[in-house]
Amino acid sequence: MNPVPSQAAPALIKALDDGNGNVRRTAAEALIKIPSEADMIIPALVGALKHGDYTFQVALRKMGAPAVPALVEALKDERWVARKGAANVLGMLGRRATESAPALLEALKDERREVRAAAARALGGIGAPPDEAVPALVHALEDEFPSVRRRAAEALGKLGTPSRPAAPALIRASKDKHADVRGIAVWALGSICPKASDAVSAFIHALSDKDANVRIAAARALARSGPAAKQAAGKLIEALRDSNRSVRFLALAALGRVSGDPKGTMQASPALIRALILALKNEEGNMRSSVARALGKIEPGAKEAIPALTEALKDQYGPVRTRAAESLVKLGLPDRGLDFLIAELHDESGGHRAWAARLLGKAGAAAKGAIPALTEALKDEQEQVRRAAAETLVKLGLPVRALPVLIATLKDGPAYRRKWAAWTLGKVGAPAKGAIPALKEALKDKEVRRAAAWALKKIQADGSPSFDAAQDK
């Protein structure tokens, strides 16, 4: 921030009342660069709030807590524009303006709706003491103007759990005739008491609202409700067909949360599986991808979805194919799924080839048909692919094929990779005897010797030093 000479302050203050808005705004931006003259500048900027320029509000916010007393006084200004501006700035100052709560509560009774709305919003912004603020904001929820009701609901939500006594009023507000009030009321309930049964009922009702923003707020709130909203599963399944993409995505996320599983596992039901299979044909690629992933999270497994997921392996959108393959591995990899992953081992992207190799390692016996392709992948030009293929071959019970790659990794590369190779060889056990010379050599490597000693123990090599002895060297 380039400093402005303090002697320029008087001229700049005078410019705050210039007839040209651009001049006023430029003057305000320059004045905040003269912090040494704050005692002179703050009253001038507060006085300029009468012009209604947002630039003055931002400037006062940058002046910080020292501006609070003058702003509190401005809440009594005869011009409503100045009163509104003062309330806005106090809200922007947040906790630095907590002392302004009594004045803002008084401003909540202002004759102008614009000032009442700004005061309500500011009470939430400053974290006003709930004992006084909550009753006043509940009363404001009955204001004749929707802008005031909306800001009152917003403030209650920002005050958080101390606003719990306002829940009944917010539930009523969730059925307000104005959609923006309904949406904010639902959001506020989700912030204050998402698990309360009466709030959950309000969320479920709002999920059928004619306004998309209200439905979005309801789906978000239900996700926060978690297992307390299990009864919402049916409505959330219906919401997977919502005309609004955000509602569809949020409903899918909420279905995982209401199940109660921290990993988002969903309980199987015919209705849920049918809805997800149908959603796999959604026009949105991201939605299809999310649905394909969700089908792999259903417990017990959604075997009925295997044909649809197999078909999704041909989707034009790459992430859909990826998620479908991952879900198929969890459900029991069918032949077409195996063929798909074998083909992916030859993808032009090294990262994708490594992904396919690792995924085959999760498929268990169903991946036996990929052994030739995995063996070939041991010669891949990229180390990440070779490592993934080696690890999977070990899991499939064919460690001898992976030994050359594991030994090569043990001898070269970053320490974390050398350690990985040693640990993997140890997991292989006796079939890894061909790696004994390399592991003995690795005992001289201070970064790897712990892992190498452990591996030698596991392989049960005759004459190999003990783990403790290796540590002492």
Please tell me the distance from the alpha carbon of residue 367 to that of residue 339, in angstroms, as a whole number. 10
Is residue 418 scored above 80 in pLDDT?
yes
pLDDT at residue number 467: 38
224 residue type, one letter:
R
- Residue whose token pair is 């049918």: 274
pLDDT at residue number 373: 95
Buried b (16+ CB within 10 A) or exposed e, 143-165: beebbbbbbbbbbbbbbeebbbe
pLDDT at residue number 356: 97
Tell me how crowded residue 445 is: count the other CB atoms within 10 A of its CB.
Answer: 16
Is residue 462 scored above 70 in pLDDT?
no
Tokens representing 269 are 């039901």
pLDDT at residue number 260: 63
Tell me how crowded residue 332 is: count the other CB atoms within 10 A of its CB.
Answer: 14
Inter-CA distances, 411 with 30, 339, 416, 434, 437, Å = 64, 34, 12, 14, 11
Please tell me the distance from the alpha carbon of residue 282 to that of residue 436, in angstroms, as a whole number. 55
433 residue type, one letter:
K
Q: Is 315 left (phi over 0), alpha (psi -120 to 50) or beta?
A: beta
Please tell me the distance from the alpha carbon of residue 293 to that of residue 377, in angstroms, as a whole number. 27
Is residue 117 scored above 70 in pLDDT?
yes
The DSSP secondary structure of 20-53, one letter per residue, reads SHHHHHHHHHHHTT-GGGHHHHHHHHHHGGGG--
- Mean pLDDT (whole number) for 441-453: 93
- 33 close to 4: Cβ distance less than 8 angstroms: yes
- 458 close to 429: Cβ distance less than 8 angstroms: yes
Q: Is 64 left (phi over 0), alpha (psi -120 to 50) or beta?
A: left
pLDDT at residue number 261: 66
Inter-CA distances, 171 with 89, 138, 241, 315, 356, Å = 30, 11, 26, 43, 50
Its pTM stands at 0.76
The DSSP secondary structure of 116-130, one letter per residue, reads HHHHHHHHHHHT--H
Q: Can you list the pairs that 74-78 forms with residues at least 24 positions away whose Cβ atoms lie under 8 Å? A: 74/46, 74/49, 75/100, 75/103, 75/104, 75/106, 75/107, 75/119, 77/49, 77/50
- Residue whose token pair is 């998620």: 323
Inter-CA distances, 66 with 42, 130, 278, Å = 8, 24, 59
* Distant-in-sequence, close-in-space partners of 292: CB < 8 Å, separation ≥ 6: 280, 309, 312, 320, 323, 324, 326, 327
Is residue 464 scored above 80 in pLDDT?
no
pLDDT at residue number 468: 40
Is residue 473 scored above 50 in pLDDT?
no
pLDDT in tens, 282-329: 888 999 999 999 999 888 778 999 999 999 999 999 999 999 999 999
- 53 close to 62: Cβ distance less than 8 angstroms: no
The DSSP secondary structure of 275-320, one letter per residue, reads HHHHHTT-S-HHHHHHHHHHHTTEES--GGGHHHHHHHTT-SSHHH
Tokens representing 199 are 């709030």
- Mean pLDDT (whole number) for 31-59: 93
Inter-CA distances, 184 with 71, 84, 189, Å = 27, 21, 9
pLDDT at residue number 35: 84
Count, residues in the chain? 473
- For 299, phi then psi, to 5°, come to -120, 135
Best CA proximity match to 428, nearest among 403, 465, 463, 461: 403
Best CA proximity match to 223, nearest among 269, 191, 188, 255: 255
- 168 close to 137: Cβ distance less than 8 angstroms: no
Domains and CATH numbers, the chain: 402-473 (1.25.10)
- 194 close to 225: Cβ distance less than 8 angstroms: yes
Tokens representing 184 are 């904010």
Buried b (16+ CB within 10 A) or exposed e, 344-356: bbeeeeeebbbbb
- Mean pLDDT (whole number) for 125-147: 97
pLDDT at residue number 461: 52
Please tell me the distance from the alpha carbon of residue 169 to that of residue 222, in angstroms, as a whole number. 19
pLDDT in tens, 327-381: 999 999 999 999 999 999 999 999 999 999 999 999 999 999 999 999 999 989 9
Residue 6 — very low, low, confident or very high, per pLDDT cuts 50/70/90? confident
* Range list of H helices, 94-232: 101-107, 113-126, 130-140, 146-159, 167-173, 179-192, 197-206, 212-225
